[in-house]
Amino acid sequence: MDKRPIGIFDSGLGGLTCIAPIAKALPGERILYFGDTARTPYGSKSRETVCEFALQIADFLVKNDVKMLAIACNTISATAIPLLQESYPEIPVVGIIEPAAAEVAASCSAGNSIGIIATKVTVKTKAYERAIKKHDPSLSVYQMACPAFVPLIEENIIESDIMDSLIRYYLDDFISYHRIDTLVLGCTHYPLIKENILRLYPKLRIINPSDALASAVERSLRENELLSDDTPKESTFFASDISENFIQMVDRIITETDYNIAIRKF
């Protein structure tokens, strides 16, 4: 049994959408979360900048004695996994894209048309397409970058006509042209607009990769004999800039255990 916390991070508050499934799958684990709210969005930055920021955060979490790194960010998972694995060989580093791709491949067949919506960086790397096709080359995968979603979500502009128009702007032609029937939320901020998407396209099947990340985290802890079945003490949610929206989101998500919110600037 290893009582050290799990380190989970994202460019902002999007990664918080992965906390509930992880906490549900692993109730004995303490969490150290970091959201880089001062520097979000990452998805329109260069690959080099994303890698540099990811290393700074990982370093901070590792210095705080985490027993693994779970990357609740597709943009970082698409760019920085090899770098993080090389930099911290003593702990497991688990990204969100590989487990999500395995789930997509297992639940789709050649008759499906799979759409991936993600940040510009994630789309540019084609990480989802490659990972899904590695499992099943017969699958049809199409990608769409939606860079304006994250700033609006970080501002909590969700239940609004502006958000619905933006969803239509990105998805109307994409869905109809490729006859998309399965949509993968390839950015951890997007589960926060899942209901808007479903309202606009009720026939779509939506895959939220946060469950696949939770299963991968659980598997990795088990395989590495790092599980804890302790009653977790307080989890801590760090942000590089603490906004009201960040505090509200944490409060909404963490209902079962105690937690702290703390600022950490770079």
Name residues contacting ligand DGL, limited to 53-112 (CB under 6 A): 73-75
212-215 CB contacts, 8 Å cutoff, 24+ apart? 212/96, 212/99, 212/100, 212/102, 212/103, 213/18, 213/21, 213/22, 213/70, 213/72, 213/94, 213/96, 213/99, 213/100, 214/18, 214/21, 214/22, 214/24, 214/25, 214/26, 215/25, 215/99
Nearer to ligand DGL among residue 141 and residue 226 (C-beta) = 141
Our finding on whether 187 is near ligand DGL (CB under 6 A) is yes
Contacts of 219 (CB under 8 A, 6+ apart): none
18 is catalytic: no
108 is catalytic: no
Name residues contacting ligand DGL, limited to 191-250 (CB under 6 A): none
**Candidate list 9, 33, 34, 42; residue touching ligand DGL; CB under 6 A:** 42
**Candidate list 5, 6, 9, 11; residue touching ligand DGL; CB under 6 A:** 11
Our finding on whether 143 is near ligand DGL (CB under 6 A) is no
Q: Closest approach of Cβ 148 to ligand DGL, in Å?
A: 10
Q: With beta carbons less than 8 A apart as the criterion, state whether 253 and 16 touch.
A: yes
Distance CA 10, CA 36 (A): 7
Our finding on whether 150 is near ligand DGL (CB under 6 A) is yes
Stretch that binds ligand DGL, among 38-46, 55-63, 191-199, 211-219 (CB under 6 A): 38-46
Stretch that binds ligand DGL, among 156-164, 185-193, 217-225, 240-248 (CB under 6 A): 185-193
Stretch that binds ligand DGL, among 22-30, 35-43, 81-89, 248-256 (CB under 6 A): 35-43
194-211 burial string, b = 16+ CB within 10 Å, else e? eebbeeebeebebbbbbb
Helix (H) or strand (E) holding 236: strand 235-239
Distance CA 3, CA 28 (A): 9
18, 108, 146, 187: which is the annotated catalytic residue?
187
Q: Closest approach of Cβ 234 to ligand DGL, in Å?
A: 24
**Residues in contact with ligand DGL, total (CB under 6 A)?**
17
Nearer to ligand DGL among residue 42 and residue 201 (C-beta) = 42
Distance CA 16, CA 8 (A): 9
Active site residues: 73, 187
The residues binding ligand DGL (CB under 6 A) are 10-12, 14, 40-43, 73-75, 119, 122, 150, 187-189
